[in-house]
Amino acid sequence: MNFDRREFLKAGFKTILATGFSLGAFEILRPEVLAALKKEEGIRWTFLVDTTKCIGCGMCVRACKLENEIPYEVNVSRTWVERYVMTKDGRIYADSPNAARDGFIKNDPMGTMVKKEDIDKAFFVPKLCNQCENPPCVQVCPVGATYQTPDGIVLIDRKWCIGCGYCIMACPYGVRFFHPVYKVAEKCNFCYHRINKGMKPACVDACAFGARMIGNIRDLGDPVARIIKTERTAVLKEEYGTKPHVFYIGLDSIVR
């Protein structure tokens, strides 16, 4: 066959177009891209923690362990409560013994007895998975066993996880661990099985003081969404760019 320059350029152009379009289809038809097309629809689960209401009883941790079958005696938990104590001499004590499963019953942060009159400020901060909009754990999973649902919850496929621990390393909040029984990655999922049935997560139901709330940030009538939009709230470790979706009222700069 004899090609002159014009024909060559024509054919080349066509080839580039054809490959471009067919390769582009992979990009356009990607599930995430398709999902993004119909954005701002449906539910986006969001959690709100009012730290000023938390008294550190640990009922949420106990409820979570029972609900989600995390062995009671094992030193891991999907949710936990941290205690922060700042004394008058500027020292900061922080701890969460047994993930606060048994509550805080003594004035002994980090094993030191602190007198009441020495304390400048002290408070509790409940922690759980932040269900990030940009979850690093999902990004690093080599087999795609952990994934984000359209309503924003990051789930783990216990039947597909290989247990490499990369997601545990990638989470800046330390919410992930290996399930002691199933030997795969495990973390809080806002009790996905409950919230899908119209129930509240176990920890929310267990909290007698209303420190934990869950809602849909896309629903303007939702009380949780209203608080987040109209009041002063903060998220944890914003600098990692993960866009966490657990918002806090009364967060302090000493909170880690």
Both structure tokens of 123: 């408070």
Taking the least distance from each CB to another protein, the nearer of 15 and 75 is 75
> Closest CB to another protein among 170 and 227?
170
Report, in Å, the least distance between residue 153 CB and another protein: 18
CB-nearer residue toward another protein: 163 or 210: 163
Instruction: List, as one string, the DSSP characters of 25-92.
Output: HHHHT-HHHHHHHTTT-S--EEEEEETTT-----HHHHHHHHHTT--TTSS--SSEEEEEEEETTS-E
Instruction: Identify which of residues 95 and 151 has a Cβ nearer to another protein in the complex.
Output: 95
Q: Name the residue type at position 34.
A: L
Least CB distance to another protein at residue 247 (A): 19
- Cβ at position 249, least distance to another protein in Å: 21
Q: How far is CA 76 from each of CA 101, 138, 204, rounded to the nearest angstrom?
A: 10, 21, 19
Short-list 110, 24, 92, 51, CA closest to 234: 51
Q: How far is the CB of 101 from another protein (least distance, A)?
A: 9
Cβ proximity to another protein, 11 vs 143, nearer residue: 143
Query: Which residues sit at the interface with another protein, rule CB under 8 A?
Result: 71, 73-77, 80, 92, 94-96, 98-99, 110, 127, 136, 138-145, 160-166, 168-178, 180-181, 183-184, 239-241, 256
What 8-state DSSP symbol labels residue 7? H
Nearest-approach distance from CB 186 to another protein, in angstroms: 9
Q: What is the CA radius of gyration of the chain?
A: 24
